[in-house]
Amino acid sequence: DGGITQSPKYLFRKEGQNVTLSCEQNLNHDAMYWYRQDPGQGLRLIYYSQIVNDFQKGDIAEGYSVSREKKESFPLTVTSAQKNPTAFYLCASSSGRGATDTQYFGPGTRLTVL
Amino acid sequence: DAKTTQPNSMESNEEEPVHLPCNHSTISGTDYIHWYRQLPSQGPEYVIHGLTSNVNNRMASLAIAEDRKSSTLILHRATLRDAAVYYCILRGFQGGSEKLVFGKGTKLTVNP
C-alpha cells in the first residue's frame, strides 16, 4: 500500500541524547515535512524539503536537524539542544506542486524525554 | 504571515449539519484555504480545499466568503466518526518558499 511510515511509534530518550525519527514515503512525492504537536495544540512546522538535497527551516527549527539524501526518506534528528523535546512528531509529504496539493500524514512518533 | 482563527470547540448532534467557521482576514490573493481533520493520536487527514468558489466533495462542502476573509466547512450530516479536531490552513507560495500556516483547530464533539 502507498503511504507514509514513521518509526518508532513511541520513543523514549534520556536528557542530553540525540535521537533520530524515521520517515519514509512510497508516494513518489517531492516534498516532505516535519511537524511538532504539543498536547492540546495545533501543528507547528519544524523543517520542510521540496526536493532531494534541499530543505528549509520552518517556524521552530532550533534544536532539530534534517537530511534529504533520498526522495523517499526525510529523517529528523532531535538534538540535545532542543530544550523541550517531549511531543508528538508528525511527518507529511505532498507532490510539491504548490498551494493546491494535498499533504499526506504519517501516524506520528510520540517522543518522551525521561 | 497570514493567520487563521477558529473557535476552540463546537458540539453537534448526530445526523445534523455542522458549520465550522474560520476567519482569515489577512489572506493574500494567491492563498488557498485547506481543511484537515485529526482524530486522537493520529496524523491529520485532508478534507477539502478551495480558492474563491464554493467546493463540494464526498466528505464535506467548503463555503468561501466573497471577500475571502472567512470560510465555513460544512458537514452535511455529522456522524460519530466525524468527531475530531478540524484545522483551517492557508497554503500559498511567498518568495519562492512554501508557506504553511495552521490555525489552532476546532475540536468537534458529536453527540449520539
Give the tens place of pLDDT for each residue, A28-49.
999 999 999 998 888 899 999 9
Please work out, in degrees rounded to the nearest 5, the angle formed at the alpha carbon of residue A55 by the alpha carbons of B93 and A3. Answer: 85
Chain A and chain B share a number of CB contacts under 8 A equal to 52
B43 with A108: Cβ contact below 8 A: yes
Of B43, B92, B100, the CB nearest to A90: B43
The pLDDT tens digits for B25-53 are: 988 888 899 999 999 889 999 999 999 98
- CB-CB neighbors (< 8 A) of B105 in chain A: 42
Number of Cβ atoms within 10 Å of the Cβ of A87: 22
Q: Which residue has the higher pLDDT, A99 or A111?
A: A111
Disruptive mutation site among A4, A34, A55, A103 for chain B (greatest number of B CBs within 10 Å): A103
B87 with A99: Cβ contact below 8 A: no
Length reported for chain A: 114
Q: What is the pLDDT of residue B10?
A: 97
* For residues A81-99, average pLDDT: 89
> Is A98 exposed, middle or buried, given 0-12, 13-18 or 19+ CB atoms closer than 10 A?
middle
The string of DSSP letters for A60-113 reads T-TTEEE--SBTTB--EEE-TT-S---EEEEEEEE----TTPPPEE---EEEEE
Disruptive mutation site among B57, B68, B85, B102 for chain A (greatest number of A CBs within 10 Å): B102
Number of Cβ atoms within 10 Å of the Cβ of B20: 24
Q: In what order do the strands lie in the sheet with A4-7?
A: A4-7, A19-25, A76-78, A64-66
Q: Which residues, other chains included, contact B69 with Cβ-Cβ below 8 Å and sequence gap of 6+? A: B23, B24, B25, B27
A43 with B98: Cβ contact below 8 A: no
Number of Cβ atoms within 10 Å of the Cβ of B97: 11
Find, among B29, B20, B41, the residue nearest to B88 by Cα. B20
In chain A, whose CA is at the least distance from the CA of B104? A42
* For residues A59-75, average pLDDT: 96
* For residues B3-32, average pLDDT: 93
Longest dimension (CA), chain B: 47
The pLDDT tens digits for B59-112 are: 999 999 999 999 999 999 999 999 999 999 988 766 555 656 666 799 999 999
